[in-house]
Amino acid sequence: MSKFLVAGAGGFIGGHIVNALLNNGQEVICADIKPLEFWFQFFDNNKNYSLDLKEFENCLKVTEGVDYVYNMACNMGGMGFIENNKAECMLSVLINTNLLRACKLNNVKKYFFSSSACVYNSSKQNKAFIPGLKEDDAYPADPEDGYGWEKLFSERMCRHFSEDFRLPTRVVRYHNIYGPLGTYDGGREKAPAALCRKIIKAKLNNINNIEVWGDGNQTRSFLFIEDCIEATQLVFNSSREYVFNVGSEEQVSINQLIEIIEEIANYKVEKKYLLQKPKGVRGRSSDNKLIKSIVGWSPKYSLKKGIQKTYDWIYKDITQNNNNNKFTKK
Q: Write down the mean pLDDT value for the chain.
A: 95
What are 43-53's pLDDT values in tens digits? 998 999 999 99
Mean pLDDT value of segment 160-167 = 98
Same fold, 3-178+222-249+282-300 and 191-218+253-281+312-329: no
Determine the CATH number of domain 3-178+222-249+282-300. Answer: 3.40.50.720
Distance CA 173, CA 245 (A): 5
What are 186-200's pLDDT values in tens digits? 888 999 999 999 999
For position 324, what pLDDT does the model report? 47
Q: Is 147 a catalytic residue?
A: yes
70 near 112, Cβ under 8 Å?
A: yes
Per CATH, the architecture of 191-218+253-281+312-329 is what? Answer: Alpha-Beta Complex (3.90)
330, pLDDT greater than 60: no
Mean pLDDT value of segment 240-253 = 96
CA triplet 233, 235, 240: central angle to 5 degrees? 150
Give residue limits of the domains in the chain: 3-178+222-249+282-300, 191-218+253-281+312-329
**Choice among 68, 147, 301, 311 that is catalytic:** 147
Give the percent of the chain with pLDDT over 90. Answer: 90
pTM: predicted TM-score of the whole model, two decimal places: 0.94
